[in-house]
Structure 1
């Protein structure tokens, strides 16, 4: 049965610091054990704050950048130069400022179609995992939308049922076409951390926690379509980093 380990903090800034500290400790231990660490990151408020923290002198020197491989959980199908592109935001806050060897693999959204970008990124993800001699992601950092979506897996989306591909195009999400990792890949990840901050997320978080309790004995495949996407994952332990505003009443 999956267990939810909930870390509560007063503010969003406290959440970002806690995740930064945990990230340093986790990646250090993972590299010690397996020589590399493959991390899938998402966009959003807390990841952006995390990137800014990791770019400070205090944290930059603690991270073994050369042995971490960064992938993107999902991406909006807009060019890397677009401010709405998740990689664009991450590059501004972290990856464009690192003066050392760092492995990062953004979704190729500058050319072609969203379907072509998804197909290319699926190959990229498999290549990175093979190069690190791994079959699963070591760590996935996820957020939660106010509608209960995670990654770019939205309620009632046709891609929720995807079983054959680990990365797909999303054309029925919000605002943009997107590329996203799918549940077959996310559910196989060794570790999953959610970061959820702000009172706008409180209702969705409460519903997700309730559904995770109600469907605790169900497989992730059986949960799809019966719960919000944020309640699907079934790792032995799923960690939640939340602030007081988001966790009010939970």
Structure 2
């Protein structure tokens, strides 16, 4: 069985990209709440956190109390650290919407990084009990200039992780080195994944990740390209700068 093709959206401006993403997140939220009474979303840091904080909180008619918020990855730092993905969203998003604090699932930085990963697995099991791979309603993923997503980096052994749903690493090539991350089996099991990719530094990795002629096991396939959902929707939202090389590829077909 082959994975469905990613749905690629190229926005004319960053503002148009943000508006479209906000609308789609609200649509997915309403769908999930109608189907099973809550909406599970996994957020990323960096440019994704900035986009969320810039305006998602302004959306109307959102059942915020039904949200269950997790993080695609997190740095093993205190929650008030400038490096914390949670902290990047605390004032810009969480403080502005009525999501219950107990429904925002953060790491416990007092534990070892390995312990924090195990503890985060237990927190996911609050919403998704049992031993099955959780099926999150939506993941908002970013991508680095090296093609990494979550804290899954090119050539790293965690790309081969098959059993854990949350893994730890202490050797991240991007500081800080100690982190926890959702694993590829979890990402690929989501109902919907949305990549949000902006900037010219991302254009080469984006084109490689979206090259469906390549196998996910190819040596030069970036981690973002290993996200191939079999039972969900995979979207890529890009601005013109990030999509430039991909558009050249498409024009040649």
1:109-135 alpha-carbon deviations (Å, 9 max, x no partner): 2x121111111001111222239x994
Question: How many angstroms apart in 2 are the aligned matches of 1:208 and 1:69?
Answer: 29
Residue 99 of structure 1 deviates from its aligned partner by 4.2
**Is residue 68 from structure 1 mapped to residue 62 from structure 2 by the alignment?**
no
Would you identify which runs of 4 or more consecutive aligned residues in structure 1 move more than 6 Å?
Answer: none
Q: Which residues of structure 2 form unaligned runs of 5+?
A: 247-253
Question: How many angstroms apart in 1 are the aligned matches of 2:135 and 2:91?
Answer: 28
Q: Which moved more, 1:134-143 or 1:234-243?
A: 134-143
Q: How do residues 1-250 of structure 1 correspond to structure 2 at under 5 angstroms?
A: 1=2, 2-56=4-58, 59=59, 61-99=60-98, 101=100, 103-109=103-109, 111-130=110-129, 135-173=134-172, 174-176=174-176, 177-210=178-211, 212-215=212-215, 223=217, 227-236=221-230, 237-250=233-246
Change beyond 3 A, Cα 1:159–1:224: farther
Question: How many angstroms apart in 2 are the aligned matches of 1:78 and 1:34?
Answer: 34
- Aligned pair count reads 238
**8 Å Cα contact 2:152/2:159 also seen in 1:** yes
Question: How many angstroms apart in 1 are the aligned matches of 2:151 and 2:229?
Answer: 19
Change beyond 3 A, Cα 1:205–1:134: closer
Change beyond 3 A, Cα 1:99–1:37: closer
Change beyond 3 A, Cα 1:33–1:112: closer
1:165-186 alpha-carbon deviations (Å, 9 max, x no partner): 1001112211111110001211
1:36-83 alpha-carbon deviations (Å, 9 max, x no partner): 111111112133222331222xx1x32111111111010111111111
Question: How many angstroms apart in 1 are the aligned matches of 2:71 and 2:27?
Answer: 21
Change beyond 3 A, Cα 1:28–1:99: closer
Change beyond 3 A, Cα 1:135–1:93: same
Question: How many angstroms apart in 2 are the aligned matches of 1:224 and 1:68?
Answer: 37
Aligned to 1:202, what secondary structure does the other structure show?
helix
Question: How many angstroms apart in 2 are the aligned matches of 1:99 and 1:231?
Answer: 35
Q: CA RMSD in A?
A: 2.0
TM-score, normalised with respect to structure 2:
0.87
